Amino acid sequence: MSENATAARRSAIYLLDQILGEGRLLSECLAAGALDRLGPEDRARAQRLTLETLRGLERADRLLDNHLNRTPALTVHNALRLGAVELCHGEAAHGVVNSMVEIVGRSRKHGRLKGLVNAVLRKVAAEGPEAWPKMRVPRLPEWLREPLIMAWGAEAVAGMEQAQFTGAPLDISLKPGATGPGEALPTGSMRLHEAGQVSALPGYGKGDWWVQDAAAAIPVRVLAPKPGEKTLDLCAAPGGKTLQLAAAGADVTALDVSESRLERVRENLKRTGLTATVIAGDALEHQGQYDAILLDAPCSATGTIRRHPDLPFAKDGSEFGALIELQAQMLAHAWNLLKPGGRLVYCTCSLLPDEGEVQVEEALDQFPDMAVDRAALNIAGIEPEWTTEEGGLRLRPDYWPDRGGMDGFYIACLNKST
């Protein structure tokens, strides 16, 4: 049994405890140094195991329920869940079972349950691999599933759940004139289904491209920045859109409230040889006048579930009301920063209409000098049925199912009259 494999599993169980027990996002745990003691290979393995377990959580629980008289303590339950997922994904039973028994057995609080772990996982090893593929695609938690069904219907939500269960390939955006690995997507991004270590891929070191989901690359294409235009990227981190704007030759100001997250923007600007003015500050306090503005507003991030399966389990929707109010305030303030004759793209990586379609409908009622630019959506790869009644663009994870899906986004281009 590998000590490194056990260390990665122990860390994955800790991450599951934080996500399912404390409501923390995986990104928050990683930023707090949850995996800093592991080497690069084990860090990657711990993250992969965590994500695989979250994607298959419903199936794992159904298998385990057959052999549990009552639900054990969360840490033990998560060890069983992780073990069940690994076993059903084809990992050798001996290594998985022994590793989980060791992890639980070393716990002062739960060590007495190592016999239970051993017995249950051996039963799962015997029956799980055959039963696993016959089980239904795991469903989203009800707090998210119900509003999504109300918005898009049960069939669409089933497609979203399939996308979350499958996971996401790696998408990249190219600098103009550069080439990169992967297959070309209709919207201009490149997609890799088996990426491996990103920094080892051809062109990364030269700064020819950056990682960015294909859906997340569309707002800048809708904005269509022009060389020399004074352009503001509000809520800029982690910086993919800033890089797109800079690559188009715009005079870019990248603003974000988080100084630490802006470090990643600066690093990518340096790697790609692109230029932008990077400022840490509150979007609601920023002043200036701009020809074009991109507002990727803080949101529920529900559109990213295929890449972040922790989100539906770490959140419960209770903070969405405050986010919706903040979005309305940001859109109103950004509108005051836009020069007459300018254009603003409002977008959110959310699947909830209250964070997208409804925000734009209400803004159109509030600002008489605002108009939706439907023609801005006439870009490569956009399907006509993706456009919405008020003139925006609705993207969903169940789109492109044969290609690996896309993030959920809402995008609208708003013109300011002169």
- Phi–psi pair at 253, nearest 5 degrees: -110, 120
Tell me the C-alpha distance between 195 and 178, whole Å: 18
**Tens place of pLDDT per residue across the chain (418 aa):** 456 789 999 999 999 999 999 999 999 999 999 999 999 999 999 999 999 999 999 999 999 999 999 999 999 999 999 999 999 999 999 999 999 999 999 998 999 999 999 999 999 999 999 999 999 999 999 999 999 999 999 999 999 999 999 999 999 999 999 999 999 999 999 999 988 889 899 999 999 999 999 999 999 999 999 999 999 999 999 999 999 999 999 999 999 999 999 999 999 999 999 999 999 999 999 999 999 999 999 999 999 999 999 999 999 999 999 999 999 999 999 999 999 999 999 999 999 999 999 999 999 999 999 999 999 999 999 999 999 999 999 999 999 999 999 999 999 999 999 8
Reduced to 3 states, what is the DSSP secondary structure of residue 319?
coil
What number of CA atoms fall less than 13 Å from residue 245's CA on the CB side? 32
Question: CB–CB of 235/297 below 8 Å?
Answer: yes
Domains, the chain: 3-134 (1.10.940.10), 170-416 (3.40.50.150)
**Amino acid identity, position 273:** G
The per-residue DSSP string of 334-364 comes to HHHHEEEEEEEEEEES-S-GGGTHHHHHHHH
Question: Cα(207)–Cα(199) distance, rounded to whole angstroms?
Answer: 10
Residues acting as catalytic residues: 349
Strands 170-174 and 190-192, how do they pair?
antiparallel
Calpha distance 418→408 (Å, rounded)? 33
In this prediction the pTM is: 0.94
Tokens found for residue 177:
């004139």
Strands 183-184 and 190-192: antiparallel
Handedness of CA 201, 195, 256, 24 (dihedral sign): negative
Q: What token pair was written down for 386?
A: 């993706």
CA torsion through residues 138, 143, 144, 146, sign: positive
91, two tokens = 């990992």
